[in-house]
Amino acid sequence: MSSKRKLKIDDLPEFDITHYLKSKRAMTEYLNQVIADGDDAELAAALGHIARAKGMADVSKSTGLTREALYKALRPNTKPRFDTVSKVIQALGMRIMIQA
């Protein structure tokens, strides 16, 4: 008789993508995939994940925005202003490019 313990969902650790966003390449690929998927609601959340992985305090300092403002603007299903998105992308060491 095997003693298999049933796992409960509440016992599982919560997934945190920031643990996988340790390199500039991983951050860039993640953001490009979100943009390619075309899910505008996920863009702010993805930027928030990347900012948390890099360090929200550093991003705050680079953008001139408070940490609280960044957390508010970069949560799921928000629509941050373009200047906020642009500042965050620059603070992450990335840039926006348009290709035909």
- Per-residue pLDDT at 7: 80
Q: Which amino acid is it at 70?
A: L
pTM of the model: 0.82
Task: Return the H-helix or E-strand segment holding 58.
Answer: helix 56-63
- Per-residue pLDDT at 2: 55
- Per-residue pLDDT at 3: 61
- Per-residue pLDDT at 30: 96
| pLDDT lower than 70: segments of the chain | 1-3
Q: How far apart are CA 67 and CA 58, in angstroms?
A: 9
Q: How far apart are CA 48 and CA 75, in angstroms?
A: 6
Q: From 35, 33, 11, 7, select the one nearest 20 (Cα to Cα).
A: 33
